[in-house]
Amino acid sequence: MLWLRSTFFNLSFWLMSIIMCILATPLFLAPRGWTVRAMNLWSRLTMFLLRVCAGTRYEVRGRIPEGAVLVAAKHQSMWDTIIATTLLRDPAIVMKKELLMIPYYGWYSLKTRMIAIDRGSGSAAIRKLIAQAKAALGLGRPVLIFPEGTRMAPDAAPDYKPGVAALYRQLDVPCVPVAVNSGIYWARRGFAKRPGTIVIEFLDPIPPGLDRKAFMAELEKRIEPATAKLVAEARGKTPALSEAAD
């Protein structure tokens, strides 16, 4: 049954995505806000299909941030980026430059002014990241970054990169940490989409003004235990999820 429902979801998801991409093509000539709304609709339809086809729901805990704020989220699954455009209002998501090469997804990311960085360009990438993030905040948009830079398995050791600290120091806005257990239900690698309830939790903001070392320590101290608690909660409810997803 798991594989049947997962197959149904994956086929439905890709078919819906292809149809929406084609229908939304004229939006490349329209104002940016129209594309933002189309991306929000795509995200909501994905959550609907995930619930109907795979039996996977989600729950939001904590206060969803609004306006010009830095959001630093744990990243376990593709689900994390999809839900971001559902919950956050017009977020500027920091993403790998390579993702811009994906047809339609990359094009729409450019149209909605996501922040694409070339991680191989060193300090130049950090300067570009900060400049684009400041521009996004100036428009009242939240900036979302995944501090580890890539999806991590639920039990993997944390590996926070310096980009989030550079943003925190230069933007001078609160940073909202986010914990999640999405990797249990929608693995970073793998076909299955497991039934249950993904929990995303917005934690208390870290005020601006900390030095780099103190901020990184505080960010990890907040995200990692909260994430571990959510993962344990999911496994406690469903014994079949006792092994880490990957």
**Residue 54 falls within a domain, yes or no?**
yes
Mean pLDDT to the nearest integer, 41-51: 97
pLDDT at 245 over 60: no
What confidence tier does 102 reach under pLDDT thresholds 50, 70, 90? confident
Rounded to whole angstroms, the Cα distance separating 125 from 137 reads: 18
Return the H-helix or E-strand segment holding 232: helix 212-237
**Residue 246 falls within a domain, yes or no?**
no
pLDDT at 115 over 70: yes
Taking the alpha carbons at both ends of the chain, their separation in whole angstroms is 20
Domain assignment of residue 105, given as a range:
2-241
Contacts of the segment 123-128: beta carbons below 8 A, 24+ positions apart:
125/163, 126/162, 126/163, 126/166
Mean pLDDT to the nearest integer, 194-213: 96
Residue 70's SS3 state is: strand
Return the ∠ at Cα 138 (arms to 137 and 143), rounded to 5°. 10
Rounded to whole angstroms, the Cα distance separating 15 from 115 reads: 27
Q: Kindly report which listed range (10-19, 67-76, 112-121, 130-139) carries the lowest average pLDDT score.
A: 112-121
Q: What pTM value is reported for the model?
A: 0.91
Mean pLDDT to the nearest integer, 127-151: 94
Number of domains in the chain: 1
What is the layout of strands, in order, in the sheet containing 70-73? Answer: 56-61, 196-202, 175-180, 70-73, 143-145, 92-96, 115-117
Mean pLDDT to the nearest integer, 145-150: 94
Mean pLDDT to the nearest integer, 162-171: 94
Looking up residue 37, the CATH number of its domain turns out to be: 3.40.1130
What confidence tier does 103 reach under pLDDT thresholds 50, 70, 90? confident
What confidence tier does 96 reach under pLDDT thresholds 50, 70, 90? confident
pLDDT at 78 over 60: yes
